[in-house]
Every structure is written in structure tokens, then in C-alpha cells.
A and B are shown apart, each in its own frame.
Chain A
């Protein structure tokens, strides 16, 4: 005799369009540090076990977006694996320990990998997630293919880890298995405009703006009138 509908819903096997609050409850949610962003993301924050792609030119506040989350994650006794980095006119940019420390990240937890090619980069990302010893994995992949992302997603969900990717290739509208895909553009030194291309469990929303803390953009050093030292 078929089960009554409400019993089936109670057991959570039916996905309902509007109730996005309680999917996969056992996955932990991390406050992003920005109120507007929390509202926009499913589960009010970054979801563990999900890959998130962020599309932006370097220098548009794309890393400051995740710094508050990284600061909290660095309290866990696990690594934050940082694979590769963006390029600026051919030169590989290096993370500056002082900036991370100023943002509250415990840099003893950060482990950096300089892959010599894309294939090694992907292996490192996977190795980090599969080992279960990384609280978060960050990558700047030069090329993305769906099976890779799916494998990252799976490894990520098994060990309650977070994964952020900043692809160095333009946004591919044909879709990707990643759970969340965001686009970032800087309006002013402290204003960012964020667009959710995809977020699992919700329709893609309108672009919204959020303000960065001053330190993220070097704002505190106020201008000194017409200063030209000799």
C-alpha cells in the first residue's frame, strides 16, 4: 500500500521547490561574514561538501569574499590547501602572509602547492579533499572539466570540507556540476557587485552589492592632501 504523501515528505525524500532551508541538514553551514551574501546563498552561508566557483578579474575583491570564512576555518586543526594562484601579466601572484594574518587567518594552517601543470593541480586538489585532513581547498584552475568537478564535489561532501575555485577561464554558461557559481565585479574601493549564476536549491538571483571592510582595500590610510615627497 503506497505510503501517505506527508509521511514521504517527512522522511525528506521529496524535494519541494520552495523549502530550501533544510536540505541535507547534516552538512554544516559557515557564515560568510556578509549579511547580503548569507541571504543570497542556500542555507544562509557557505555549505560544506559543495564546490563553489567564483568568476572575477584579480584585484576585484574576489578573495576578500571568503577571508572571513577562512579565518573561522583556520581554527580547526586541519590544513587550508591553497593550490596555484592567479596570474598577472605572466607573473604568478603569491599570497602575502601579513594580509592573511591581518584578516584573522591562522597562517600555520595554510599549506601552499605550486603545481607545475594543470594535471598536477587537479591531483593536489583531489588528494587534499580525499585525505580528509583539509578544512578547505582553494584552487585557481586554468581549465575545468565536468568529471573533475564532480569528483571534487564527492570528495568534498565525504569529509565536511569546503572548496572554492577561481577559474582563470571566462564563465561557461553551459553549466557545471559545482553547487554555487558566482560572478564578482568591483564598483568602488569598498563596493562589490555579486551575481549568482547558479545556486543549488534556488533560482539564480539578481545581482546585488555588498560593502567590504576597510582593511580589505587599504582604505584606512586616508588621502593626504596633494602629497608629493621629493
Chain B
């Protein structure tokens, strides 16, 4: 009975399905020993799972995945084998046979006259191969490896398949190299022949047989497999063309002349190779017993003081932390949880994991680097006591099972955020403490996305790339519907057969790995040599090394990973606290003024809740306490929005509807969110309770939710979820809403613990903004680039909160922005860093010169601070010389005279002749000053451009932002302002939100899709925009929108004005 091919395997349309002519797995006496997957980038034309599934379907005994100097694909192959076994559970006889099918780990190496295939027999051999690959990869730069024949003699356990090229046989030193190989490898070496049925194929076969006889080396055969089915030849040729960066026409010499390099059927193998060779492959396969799950990972024990028992040391630290966290004593329930957690940690031997993380966080705190753990770790009370996370278990229902569950083999996964400016110090600390061969970054596999696939395939097919530009520019563009490939490629790019080839190949190449790059901050740390577990290679960035597996592989094999991530807001908060010499804990909890401020949507600069969509939600949700913030952070996300859980929650929040629970058992889970599942944990708990999922299935649901597109197991799980819930009496509509929510959670799944950690920072930044606006604004400005708003908007918002802003000046500004609080009127002095293009060391020289003596005039400043011509020009145009000159034009004229330091010129510059030319210059009026400000600083402290234009009567009867409040609902009128933000969130059906800023505040413009498409240029290009529309006031939230009917581009009123606009992200 043929093995049913798993649903995940999709055959391209219109191609002969490679029937598996009825062999049970392992029924034919052949093992494929030389096969590359698409992790030999741009060579292999099949995914590892495709190769495994096809090898099983053909009845092979074993398949060796031997990518070129890489083990990047072996984990996915192993995972595919596990999935196959799981799918054939219901058929014991089949799954038992499948159990015999063996995945062999190996790698191929090339050097001048030879091709070597190294196969792994046992754990020792595996470590040997990892070391060899790491050695060859790290001695060459990214993407290459440096392999020398002598390195083979390091292999004591691995098997070697040796294929010398024709030129070797009559090479001078052939004799002694062969003798050395045989002496070293003895019975672990075979001569490899591969029949590709091309030109000199039989000649190679004959010479190899003679050579083998002459030297008494056993002979074996393999298929040099590049693709799992022959039909993949078109894709393999295309990959070859891309590899050579040419069209297929031009790189014909590099193409394979036929498609023999695929997994061949038994019928074909019998005709090509003599029986004894086929038998030898099975003998070799039987000697390779190594399985990937034999990798046993030990956590580093460096952090354990010697002589201490890990569990006892951990308990000690936890109790100490507990006393610190709960000065008045922890509740019984919390103590019970701690014991439960420590017991589970002991059972799973995860102590060293916690101690390692603790050590990293302890180091960061010792260096005053602000950091905070988040992710699933935030569910653990032990982490809270160890100071890794700051989520108080009393306030948030912590599902410790979500962090570590008894049955799952899943290792814990802790993400720790550090200040963006100082994260590198933490990374170098880890490298220095554990050493380069025990700590490395996880990889991320960069694979083909639609645009890159289309461009590369079009070039390979020799299409006119110029004609392709419109297609690429419009692909998925905000105003075009996101349709897939078929109607994407118009006739202009290609016609007839070429168009079909393009569509087929792009469809095939999507999600093919392109190259390995470095994970943002995922570190892997091992007790002893990491290179025994996984090969390490150089990352693109200097000083960084990367393992060949990505996050998913690590999860599959249960290796420990800790994410060292960076967060700009942490730097800003640390700068505020430093100036106010407070600590994060000193911030009073549940301050009513802060919550009042947030409820008014006055959240510019506040962490996570400053975007337009969040500002719209704040007045409707009206957060009053910490848990409301946890909901606020996670509610404006695709998950809840797609599952339309937002409106029901708001109704129950505003007491318009009573909370009800679909099942009594769900009450404890959904109590906090009034019966509506908002968080990922709740949806999983829902599946376990409402759809009788076992813990393993629920975890598979969680894992496939995160990457449901990749393997496509979701359909099967969703079907079972639906059936079970129908059985339990849920309405189909409710189930579908839950499923949409599952889809929404896809990549943006927001666990509650994650939102809880973020909510702490939301509150801290909101409190600082409410009570110390000046210091807060300075801190944010000094941590740029970060957040949602430009310096101009942040400063305007600070001034709206009564902060006096002082201009940039060489006499009183520092490099950073400085702020003073506590005085009756808080002030903010703009720093020299605001001047575009001014270098920091020029600024430091100015400060140093200023310390010695105040500046008499401009030239004194230029000379003593050794300013370059460019820096002087920039300071002059930014009017930073202030009192030293009448106006910026004269300052610019004075400084742009090349500076001669000799005495003669000194006399000349002070002469009368110099001064009368100054009078010839114009004096800048208010508009000119405003324009020069924007030009050099990106903002102005003078009157707002709109105020000037309105005063000059150039804005007609446009209403001011503040006037909109008085206008009646549904009234129509003009509004006009600087465009500061354009947003088109995927969730809103094609609507664009535009923010227009004028002297009195901001106008929220709503532009429907039809209006946008008709006036596309004005909408996207206008810097000063005037709109005629209907005013819409939402009484519940008090927010006012203007629905735009007609848009007018008024940019030419101030043609030189180019304000910053935050567009489309």
C-alpha cells in the first residue's frame, strides 16, 4: 500500500505526479548517500522535507542530506521525518517500517581535483564533522569556506565517499595521496561513482572501476541528487542562472545537460548500476546509526559558584529575591507557586538556564544598563524574584505551564530587552565570559519574498527588467488590492510560454532559502564546545559568529536560546531617572493624573500607545489601572481586530453589556478580560478546554500559529478544533470568529505576559511625561531615532504642556538637549546635536573653548574652537551665533569668507571695507527665519508656518484645529496644515489616516479609498495640504475626524519648506 503523501506536499499544476509504484518504505535495497537540499544555496532545488517525503515514497532504506559544508538543512529534514511518523500513527505496520527509514547526516566538500562526501556514524563522528565545518567556514568570509585535503585526516570516526575527478588519475602525487587516505581511513573509505548519463559518463565509470581494483578500495554509487523529482530541472537551471547573475541563455555552459540528478526509481537504478554497488549503499547506510535527538544539550555551569548544588543555589537566590520583591512577605499562594516552579525546574534540570540568565541580568544592572525580561518567561514568579522580569504575579494571572510544561520537551525561551545604546556591551560580555566557541548568535534563514523572487526569476528568463518596474512598484502597494501572482504580471512583462514559465518558477522559488543571516539577538550558550553540537560560521558583521541553525531548529532540538534585544524607550527612561535621580521602583503606582492624561489621548512620546490607532482607542477604553494598560497594549493588534473581539470588550468595559462566559470551565481564564479571549494564552486555554485538545496538540497549535504559513498544518488542526467545539455546543459563528482570531494571531500573537512587561514601561513613560514634561522630552530627543514622532512634533507637544523652549546657541547649548525641572516654569534648551550635519567633536571643541572664556565675536569662536568651514556655515544658518551677529545672513556672509590665520588678513577682516558690504545684505523677515530654521534644524521655535500664512490671508476660510470642536456634527468646511503623518493600517479597509498640523494643534483627516485613488498625487506628494470635507464628531470618545472629499496641494505657498512626515509605517 503506497504511503499517502502528506497534504503539505503540493505538486506544481499540470506535471506528471511521480507515482511511487507501490513500494513500501524501506522495501528496496538502496540508500541515497549524496543529496543536497536547497540549503546549498542556489544549487539544491528541493526543500529538505520534499526530499525526505520522496525518498520514503520511493521505498529507499535511507537518505543522506549532504549540503555543501553545511548542516543548515538537516534539522528540517529530521522534523519532516518526525511529522511523517506522526501522520502514519494510525497505521502501525507502516509507521513501524517508517521507523526503519534512516536520515543520515553528512556534508560534501569540493577542492581542485576532488569531491568528498563525509557521512556521520555516531555522536563522536557528528562532533568531528561539526568541528571540521566550523573550521573551514570560519577561515573564510561569509558564504564561503576554505577546505584543504589535509583536513580530512582529522576525521577519526566519519565515513568518507571519495570521488576524484578525471584529472587526478594521472596527477603526479596521486599515488601517495591515495596511500595516505587508505592508511588513515582503512575500512571507512569508498570510491564513489555517479552515473549522470552525460558525455564522458561511462568513461568515468570504467576508469573508476580500474582504479578501485588497482588499489583494492571498495566501490559504491550515489545520485548526486539536486532535486526530489525530475520536473524540478527548470527551477534548478533558474537557480544556476541566478547564482551566476546572468540570464539562462548566457549561462548555458554551467547548466546540467540532463535532469538525472533526482531521486531515481528502483527500476532506473537497476539499469544504471550493477547490483553489488547498490548493495554497498545499504551496507554503508547501516553503519550510520546517529540520530539528531542524541544531541544532549547541557546548560553552561560557569555561573554556579564551585561546590554549590545548582538547585540549592537557585532556591537561595529566589528566596532572597522574594524578600526584596515582597518586603511585607509574599502571600501563601505565591510561595506555593514558587515551590511548584522550583520543583518543576529541578525535575527538568533547567537550573543552569535560570542561573545563566540571572548572571546576564545581574551584569547589566551592575553597569546601570536598564533591562527587562519579557515573553513566556514573564509567566514565572521565580523570574520575578530573580529580577529577570518585573511582572508582579499578583496583578497578572501567570500561566507557568505556558513557560515550562511537564510533558513538553520545549526548552524555556526568555527574551530580555536592553537599552539600545548599550546592548553591544552585554553581547561582548557574553562573548568574553563564555568564549567564541561556546557562545554564538542563532541564524535567521533569509528566504525569497514575492518581490525578490519576481526580480531574480525575470532576470534569469532574460525578460526586460524595465518593463518589470511598474509591476514591482505596484505589487501590494497600498492602493492596489493584494492579489497573488496570476493577475500580478501583465502582458507587458512576458507573453505566452515565457509568462507561464515566470509564474510557475516564481511560485516554486517562493520561500526558498536565499542565504543565512544573523538573528537580531538570539544567543545560544553551551556548557562545553558549541561546535560539538552545531557548526559555527562568520556573520556578515565583523566580530560576530553565527550557528547554522535558526530559531525553529533550536526549538525542534530543544536547545537553549536567550534573546538579547534592544529597546529605545529603555534608554529614554534611564536618562530621565538619572536626571531625577530616581529608580524605576520609585515611580508611584496608579497615579490618577497619569491615567487622566492617557484617557485624553494625550500620549505623544509615551511607549507603545502613541500611534494614531492607539490614540483613537485610549478615550474609548479609558484605562484606569495597570491591567487596563495591559489590555490597551494588546487590543490594537490584528489578532483581536480580525476576531472582532474589540467592540464586545469595549461594550462590556463601559458596562453596556454584562460579561458572559461561553462555558463555565472558562470563567477563571476569561475573568480578567470580561469573557472575551484577547490573549494568545487564553485562546490556547480555550482550545484545551472547549475543543478537548491535549497539551501537546495545544502546543502544536501555538507553534503552528507562529509559523502557520510555513508548514500549513493549520488546516488539519483547525478542522479538529471546529468539530470538537461544535460537539461541545458552540455556535458556528463563534467558532469562525475564534478561528479568524487564530489567523490574526499568526505572526503578531501577543501573549499576556508580553503585554504585561510592556505595560510597565507604558505606565513609567506616561508618568514621566505627566509630571516632568521637559525632562521627558529632552530624554526622548536624546534617544532618537525612536518612536513615532519627529523632534518638531515632540517639542511642540512639550510647549503645549507649558515647557519653555530655548533656541540652540553656541553660548549656552550643550551637545545634548538639556532640561530643567522643579523651577516654576520648566525649560528645555535645544542641544547642538539638533543642527543637521554638525559633528559631535566640533561641538565638544566649542564647549571646551567656551569654558576657558566667553566668545567675543564669531571669528573668536571660529578660531578658538578650530571650526571647519562647513561647521561654521551650519552654525551661522542655524542662527546659533545668536548675539554675536545681527542676523543669520550676515553671520553666514562673515563665516563663509575663508579663514586665513595669518596677521595680515586679521587686519583686513576688521577693516571698514568689510562692514559696508554687510549692509548690502537683506535682513531676514519672519518667514525667511522660519524657512532657515526648518532648513538647518528641521523645526522652528518661532510662529508656526500656518499662523504666518493664515495672517497673510493665504489660507482662505480654512478652520483651525481648535475651531473644529465648536463646529456642529456633519458640518462641512476647509482645513489646512502641514502633513506630519500618513498611515494606512492593513486592518482598515483601504482608509488612509492623515494628520495635518497647524498652529493650534492637529486635524485627523480620513480619506476613503475612492477619494485617495482619484487624488493620489496630491495625497502622497503634498507637503502643505488643504482639504474640504465633513466634520464627524464621535460623542462617546470625544474624537473629531474630518472625512475628506476634495484635496488641494498648497505646497507652493512655502515652496522651500520640507517638514518631516512619518509615512506609511
Residues of chain A touching chain B, judged by Cβ–Cβ distance below 8 Å, are: 220-224, 227-230
Does A220 contact B268, Cβ atoms closer than 8 Å? no
Contacts of B272 in A (CB 8 A): 227
Residues of B contacting A: mostly? helix
Most A Cβ at <10 Å: residue of B201, B202, B268: B202
Does A220 contact B203, Cβ atoms closer than 8 Å? yes
| Among B199, B201, B205, B271, contact of A229 (Cβ-Cβ < 8 Å) | B271
Bound state CA distance, A227 and B199, in angstroms?
A: 16
A66 CB, min distance to chain B CBs, angstroms: 25
Residue of A whose beta carbon sits closest to that of B205: A224
Most B Cβ at <10 Å: residue of A223, A224, A229, A230: A224
Bound state CA distance, A230 and B271, in angstroms?
A: 9
Does B202 contact A222, Cβ atoms closer than 8 Å? yes
A216 CB, min distance to chain B CBs, angstroms: 16
Known: A221-B203, A228-B271, A230-B268. 7 other contacts (CB 8 A): A220-B203, A221-B199, A221-B201, A223-B202, A224-B205, A227-B272, A229-B268
Contacts of B271 in A (CB 8 A): 227-229
Contacts of A221 in B (CB 8 A): 199-203
Does A222 contact B206, Cβ atoms closer than 8 Å? yes
Bound state CA distance, A89 and B403, in angstroms?
A: 83
A188 CB, min distance to chain B CBs, angstroms: 20
Contacts of B206 in A (CB 8 A): 222
Residue of B whose beta carbon sits closest to that of A230: B267
Residue of B whose beta carbon sits closest to that of A222: B202
Question: Which chain B residues numbered 243 to 298 have a C-beta less than 8 Å away from chain A?
Answer: 267-268, 271-272
A100 CB, min distance to chain B CBs, angstroms: 17
Contacts of A220 in B (CB 8 A): 200, 203
Bound state CA distance, A223 and B202, in angstroms?
A: 8
A-B contact pairs, 6 of them (CB 8 A): A222-B206, A223-B202, A224-B202, A227-B272, A229-B268, A230-B267
B535 CB, min distance to chain A CBs, angstroms: 39
Residue of B whose beta carbon sits closest to that of A227: B271
The count of A-to-B residue pairs whose CB atoms sit within 8 angstroms is 20
Bound state CA distance, A220 and B203, in angstroms?
A: 7
Size category of the B interface is: 10 to 19
Encode contact with A along B170-214: 1 for CB under 8 Å, 0 otherwise.
000000000000000000000000000001111101100000000
Does A222 contact B203, Cβ atoms closer than 8 Å? yes
Bound state CA distance, A74 and B477, in angstroms?
A: 61
Residues of A contacting B: mostly? loop
Contacts of B200 in A (CB 8 A): 220-221
Residue of B whose beta carbon sits closest to that of A220: B203
Bound state CA distance, A230 and B202, in angstroms?
A: 19
Contacts of A224 in B (CB 8 A): 202, 205
Bound state CA distance, A221 and B197, in angstroms?
A: 10
Contacts of B199 in A (CB 8 A): 221
Bound state CA distance, A130 and B869, in angstroms?
A: 80
A96 CB, min distance to chain B CBs, angstroms: 15
Bound state CA distance, A230 and B272, in angstroms?
A: 11
Bound state CA distance, A230 and B206, in angstroms?
A: 23
B487 CB, min distance to chain A CBs, angstroms: 40
A219 CB, min distance to chain B CBs, angstroms: 10
Bound state CA distance, A220 and B198, in angstroms?
A: 13
Residue of A whose beta carbon sits closest to that of B197: A229
Contacts of B267 in A (CB 8 A): 230
Residue of A whose beta carbon sits closest to that of B274: A225
Contacts of A230 in B (CB 8 A): 267-268
B207 CB, min distance to chain A CBs, angstroms: 10
Bound state CA distance, A223 and B268, in angstroms?
A: 17
Bound state CA distance, A53 and B200, in angstroms?
A: 36
Contacts of A229 in B (CB 8 A): 268, 271
Contacts of B203 in A (CB 8 A): 220-222
Question: Which chain B residues numbered 192 to 245 have a C-beta less than 8 Å away from chain A?
Answer: 199-203, 205-206
Bound state CA distance, A175 and B200, in angstroms?
A: 46
Bound state CA distance, A109 and B1027, in angstroms?
A: 76
Closest 10 CB pairs of A and B: A222-B202, A224-B202, A222-B206, A221-B202, A220-B203, A227-B271, A229-B271, A230-B267, A222-B203, A228-B271
B258 CB, min distance to chain A CBs, angstroms: 11
Bound state CA distance, A220 and B204, in angstroms?
A: 11
Contacts of B268 in A (CB 8 A): 229-230
Bound state CA distance, A223 and B206, in angstroms?
A: 10
B802 CB, min distance to chain A CBs, angstroms: 87
Contacts of A228 in B (CB 8 A): 271
Residue of A whose beta carbon sits closest to that of B195: A224
Contacts of A227 in B (CB 8 A): 271-272
Residue of A whose beta carbon sits closest to that of B267: A230
Contacts of A222 in B (CB 8 A): 202-203, 206
Bound state CA distance, A228 and B199, in angstroms?
A: 17
Bound state CA distance, A228 and B270, in angstroms?
A: 11
Contacts of B201 in A (CB 8 A): 221
Residue of B whose beta carbon sits closest to that of A229: B271
Bound state CA distance, A183 and B209, in angstroms?
A: 41
Residue of A whose beta carbon sits closest to that of B199: A221
Bound state CA distance, A229 and B265, in angstroms?
A: 12
Bound state CA distance, A223 and B201, in angstroms?
A: 11
B219 CB, min distance to chain A CBs, angstroms: 16
Residue of B whose beta carbon sits closest to that of A224: B202
Bound state CA distance, A228 and B271, in angstroms?
A: 7
B265 CB, min distance to chain A CBs, angstroms: 9
Bound state CA distance, A230 and B19, in angstroms?
A: 15
Bound state CA distance, A3 and B958, in angstroms?
A: 130
Bound state CA distance, A220 and B201, in angstroms?
A: 10
Bound state CA distance, A223 and B199, in angstroms?
A: 13
A222 CB, min distance to chain B CBs, angstroms: 5
B61 CB, min distance to chain A CBs, angstroms: 23
Residue of B whose beta carbon sits closest to that of A225: B274
A189 CB, min distance to chain B CBs, angstroms: 15
Bound state CA distance, A220 and B206, in angstroms?
A: 11
B349 CB, min distance to chain A CBs, angstroms: 56
Question: Which chain B residues numbered 705 to 732 have a C-beta less than 8 Å away from chain A?
Answer: none
Residue of B whose beta carbon sits closest to that of A228: B271
Contacts of B205 in A (CB 8 A): 224
Bound state CA distance, A229 and B259, in angstroms?
A: 14
Bound state CA distance, A229 and B197, in angstroms?
A: 11
Bound state CA distance, A229 and B260, in angstroms?
A: 12
Bound state CA distance, A222 and B201, in angstroms?
A: 9
B754 CB, min distance to chain A CBs, angstroms: 58
Bound state CA distance, A224 and B196, in angstroms?
A: 13
Bound state CA distance, A221 and B267, in angstroms?
A: 23
A133 CB, min distance to chain B CBs, angstroms: 33
Bound state CA distance, A221 and B271, in angstroms?
A: 17
Bound state CA distance, A220 and B268, in angstroms?
A: 24
Bound state CA distance, A227 and B272, in angstroms?
A: 7
Bound state CA distance, A230 and B199, in angstroms?
A: 19
Most B Cβ at <10 Å: residue of A220, A223, A228: A220
Residue of B whose beta carbon sits closest to that of A226: B271
Bound state CA distance, A227 and B200, in angstroms?
A: 16
Bound state CA distance, A224 and B203, in angstroms?
A: 10
Bound state CA distance, A222 and B203, in angstroms?
A: 7
A214 CB, min distance to chain B CBs, angstroms: 10
Bound state CA distance, A224 and B272, in angstroms?
A: 8
B495 CB, min distance to chain A CBs, angstroms: 32
Bound state CA distance, A222 and B204, in angstroms?
A: 10
B379 CB, min distance to chain A CBs, angstroms: 60
A71 CB, min distance to chain B CBs, angstroms: 21
Contacts of A223 in B (CB 8 A): 202
Bound state CA distance, A28 and B497, in angstroms?
A: 57
Bound state CA distance, A149 and B971, in angstroms?
A: 108
Residue of A whose beta carbon sits closest to that of B206: A222
B366 CB, min distance to chain A CBs, angstroms: 72
Residue of A whose beta carbon sits closest to that of B200: A220
Bound state CA distance, A221 and B201, in angstroms?
A: 8
Bound state CA distance, A229 and B203, in angstroms?
A: 19
Bound state CA distance, A7 and B594, in angstroms?
A: 132
B679 CB, min distance to chain A CBs, angstroms: 58
A141 CB, min distance to chain B CBs, angstroms: 36
Question: Which chain B residues numbered 895 to 938 have a C-beta less than 8 Å away from chain A?
Answer: none
Bound state CA distance, A222 and B205, in angstroms?
A: 10
